[in-house]
A and B are shown apart, each in its own frame.
Chain A
Amino acid sequence: MCNGRTRFNSIKKLRQPIVIELGDDYKVTVSHHGLISISQEYDVNALYLPTFRLSLLSINQLDTAGYTSTFGRGRCSISSPSITITGNRVNDLYIISPATALTSTVPSMSTKSTSRRRKKKRKSASSTAHITIPSSSSHTTIPSIAHFTEPTTSPLHTASSSAASTECPSATKNPNPTRKPLTISESRLWHRRLAHIHPSALRSLIGGYTEDDSMCTACVQAKHKQKSIKVKTKRTTKPFRLVHSDVCGPFSTPTSAGHRYYILFIDNYTSYTSVWVLPDTKSKTSSSAYQSFQAGVDSMGYEVEQFRCDSGRGEYDNKTF
């Protein structure tokens, strides 16, 4: 059970919330769980309890993972073949700190990759986290539990600085932004952190921002827009040489005769418009509307030379037309 959100590598919502009954009959509902890395080899599954003052470590789970825990003489030690975590008893709790665990694994550390080492360093800097165990197990209904605390009252680090250091490493690295130029990868990271912000906005926010010439693929895929079309077609010089047509509808309210669409015929030259209402967009109805339109054009002594429409499946794109 852990109270620090930042400690989790990944966090998920539980399918069903778990209710934990504490020793003093107080009940806590847990809705999230996730993975916390205790050491580099082992990630422990933990429940997220933001209301808890302390984080608890289950000896049961450590046992399952192959750790040996020994308690005695006011000290505790949790060990696996590669790592040893030690802790001291304070009042009724055993408090462990990963910092001590790191010192015991220094020889193996030196062979690790740099990125991993940085992660570890960060961890050691941010948290002298404590594993604690209540010496009287009646305090809680869950047996074999050690406490894993966020060092809110630790004399070495304040809570805010530790939280910041785990969340955004370059922020602590660069507390005064104008001081040092960021590397390109750090600049990219800031671009991603701020929801793929535009570089010019990023420049005004973060001093020392380094221009990144490469293209962010996610940005291209997410923000792609069609260029606006500004081509203007030439106007014709004779009535009904070119006729545009489109169907509008369906409307939610049909007329009393049950029409739900209307079809427009627009002459390109005079923008003389004719309208017919349609009950549907079937080929028969649209072509009969066109026929009556054409009859009107014929009676005026013109004829339709070109007919422009969209590729509406029913109304235009059919054999009748």
Chain B
Amino acid sequence: MLAVHGTTYKPCPPYAHHENGVAERMIQTITEKARSMMIYSQAPLVSWREAVSTAVYLHQRTPNKGLTKRDNRDGYQAPYPTPYKMLQAFGKPSHNNDGNKISYKAPLHHLRRFGCYASQLIPEPQCHGRFSARSKPCMMVGYVHDSITL
């Protein structure tokens, strides 16, 4: 399957996990993020899938000191770039035709605390009668692109 896409396959020998150190370290980072969020929000353990996805989503938007050296573009050293910005900005001009800087920053206005209270609007046809509840209480468990899943 890898050969079809022209990808070189580089497996590590057994008992040599350090050769895959980047992946092992990332697992630690993601799991720590997910664990902290779940503990703080007292989310049930079955929701680890959402916590892990949210952790990855937030990791893309987290400044990463290690990325600084890899950023070749001039004047782009500080603040530390996020993986999201690096990917979006790669190979693209930093200024537009008018000479203004183009921002490749990820929007953060929609971020909420993992597990916070949310209320979901019940569509009107599904409401039972005029005095029934119009929304139901929910928990915010993650993001799909730039929207929020409940």
Q: Taking beta carbons and an 8 Å cutoff, which residues of A are in contact with B? A: 229, 233, 235, 237-239, 244-246, 248, 251, 253-257, 259, 262, 264, 266-275, 277, 287, 290-291, 294, 300, 303-311, 316-317, 320-321
Q: Is the CB of A270 within 8 A of B86?
A: yes
Q: A311 touches which one: B2, B13, B87 (CB < 8 A)?
A: B13
In the complex, per-residue mask of B86-120: 1 if CB is within 8 Å of any chain A CB, else 0? 11001000000000000000000000000000000
CA distance A300 to B86 in the complex (A): 13
Given contacts A239-B90, A310-B17, contact A273 B59 (CB under 8 A): yes
Q: Is the CB of B83 within 8 A of A310?
A: no
Closest CB in chain A relative to B19 CB, distance in Å: 8
Task: Determine the residue in chain B with the shortest Cβ distance to A266.
Answer: B26
What are 12 A-B interface contacts by the 8 Å CB criterion? A239-B86, A254-B46, A264-B26, A266-B22, A270-B83, A270-B87, A277-B49, A303-B7, A306-B7, A309-B12, A309-B23, A310-B11
B144 within 8 Å of A (CB atoms): no
Q: Is the CB of B11 within 8 A of A311?
A: yes
Given contacts A239-B87, A255-B47, A309-B23, contact A320 B1 (CB under 8 A): yes
**Chain B residues closer than 8 Å to A321, beta-carbon distance:** 1-2, 9
Given contacts A244-B22, A308-B20, contact A273 B6 (CB under 8 A): no
Q: B23 touches which one: A251, A294, A308 (CB < 8 A)?
A: A308
Q: How large is the interface on B (under 10, 10 to 19, 20 to 34, 35 or more residues)?
A: 35 or more
Q: Is the CB of A264 within 8 A of B23?
A: yes
Q: B52 touches which one: A262, A287, A290 (CB < 8 A)?
A: A262
**Chain A residues closer than 8 Å to B24, beta-carbon distance:** 246
Given contacts A287-B1, A321-B9, contact A272 B23 (CB under 8 A): no
Given contacts A244-B20, A271-B83, contact A290 B6 (CB under 8 A): no
**Chain A residues closer than 8 Å to B8, beta-carbon distance:** 305-307
Closest CB in chain A relative to B34 CB, distance in Å: 9
Q: Is the CB of A237 within 8 A of B83?
A: no
Q: Is the CB of B12 within 8 A of A235?
A: no
Q: Is the CB of B23 within 8 A of A245?
A: yes
CA distance A10 to B46 in the complex (A): 57
Given contacts A294-B5, A308-B23, contact A271 B30 (CB under 8 A): no
Supply 7 further A-B pairs (C-beta < 8 A) apart from A257-B49, A266-B23: A237-B72, A270-B83, A273-B59, A275-B30, A287-B1, A307-B8, A308-B19
CA distance A272 to B136 in the complex (A): 35
CA distance A316 to B20 in the complex (A): 13
Q: Is the CB of A311 within 8 A of B22?
A: no
**Chain B residues closer than 8 Å to A251, beta-carbon distance:** 48
